[in-house]
Amino acid sequence: MSRSVIGIIPDALLVRSAKGAVITFLKQLHVDGDTKVDLLVGWAKEVGARVNASQRDAVRQSGIDRQ
């Protein structure tokens, strides 16, 4: 499942070339890791990008439930 990113991820980051910035943005959000992964996957679907397992894991590990 992926969550809608509209209204959560800034419009300026809704481009495929912003993958690194999106990952950084998500790492700084104060939410649980699984929600962050859902947002990352939703972003990727929205912009037509791919994210790999290590990128998903990095975002998941930054969740408030993992600290």
Residues 8-67: tens digit of each pLDDT = 999 999 999 999 999 999 999 999 999 999 999 999 999 999 999 999 999 999 999 987
Residue 7: pLDDT over 80: yes
**Residues near 26 by Cβ (< 8 Å), separated by ≥ 6?**
9, 36, 39, 40, 59, 62
Q: Looking at residue 15, what DSSP letter applies? A: S
Read off the pLDDT band of 6 (50, 70, 90). confident
Distance between CA 62 and CA 65 in Å, rounded? Answer: 8
Distance between CA 11 and CA 24 in Å, rounded? Answer: 15
